[in-house]
Chains A and B, each alone.
Chain A
Amino acid sequence: GAGVSQSPRYKVAKRGQDVALRCDPISGHVSLFWYQQALGQGPEFLTYFQNEAQLDKSGLPSDRFFAERPEGSVSTLKIQRTQKEDSAVYLCASSQGIANTEAFFGQGTRLTVV
């Protein structure tokens, strides 16, 4: 596709459920990022992939958060045992190069934990 595609657009989960959020980056983009955007805040960095390698997961809030990109293309962000504080928009971005290249963001997945 022309841009970064995320699915689902909206997800409502009961507290304690596991969720999986998908990101299809722009074809050929080496770098992939996940950001979390809470209501009224700017996006906050979660994790970074260069091809299939997860080089930085310093922003993941807890060990309930797990991300993967097994073939260096599609990525999945998984949240286990969701909590109310996990409610946020999860944004995926991709860029052509490794650093200092423009990042293109998807529309995000709005997760609401009830």
Chain B
Amino acid sequence: TQLLEQSPQFLSIQEGENLTVYCNSSSVFSSLQWYRQEPGEGPVLLVTVVTGGEVKKLKRLTFQFGDARKDSSLHITAAQTGDTGLYLCAVRNSGGSNYKLTFGKGTLLTVNP
């Protein structure tokens, strides 16, 4: 069983559309991170959310951490072709191994011109 379930697995949309992707778990987390991985590149950190109910905005991207700190969503407004990539959520292990990141499988987003 995956610790982090991401949905949808694949998403193909037209430029200008809005979209939301999700990261869900039955576990409670102290924080959650979102990464974007472009083809042939490593993941790049977009945001870290810490507080239940927290909303963070990064230009056209809006990140929300669930009230119970078990889930998160990423909303993109007016998608652009440059938003194409694999969106990964990740959490740090608790306790002494909090250097270790556990990732979901990701949502592969394709934005068509």
Residues of A at the B interface (CB closer than 8 Å) are 4, 31, 33, 35, 40-45, 48, 56, 91, 93, 95, 98-100, 102-103, 105-108
5 contacts between A and B (CB under 8 A): A35-B101, A42-B90, A42-B106, A43-B101, A102-B45
B106: A residues at CB distance < 8 A: 41-42
Main secondary structure of the interface of A (DSSP, over half): loop
* C-alpha spacing A57/B98, complex, angstroms: 14
The 7 closest A-B pairs by CB, nearest first: A105-B42, A42-B103, A99-B99, A99-B98, A45-B100, A42-B105, A105-B43
B-side interface size class: 10 to 19
Decide yes or no: A42 and B97 within 8 Å by CB, A102-B45, A105-B42, A107-B40 being known contacts.
Answer: no
Residues of B at the A interface (CB closer than 8 Å) are 40-45, 88, 90, 92, 97-106
B105: A residues at CB distance < 8 A: 40-42
Beta-carbon contact of B100 and A103 below 8 Å: no
Nearest B residue (CB) for A55: B99
Nearest B residue (CB) for A93: B42
- Distance in Å from the Cβ of A31 to the closest Cβ of chain B? 6
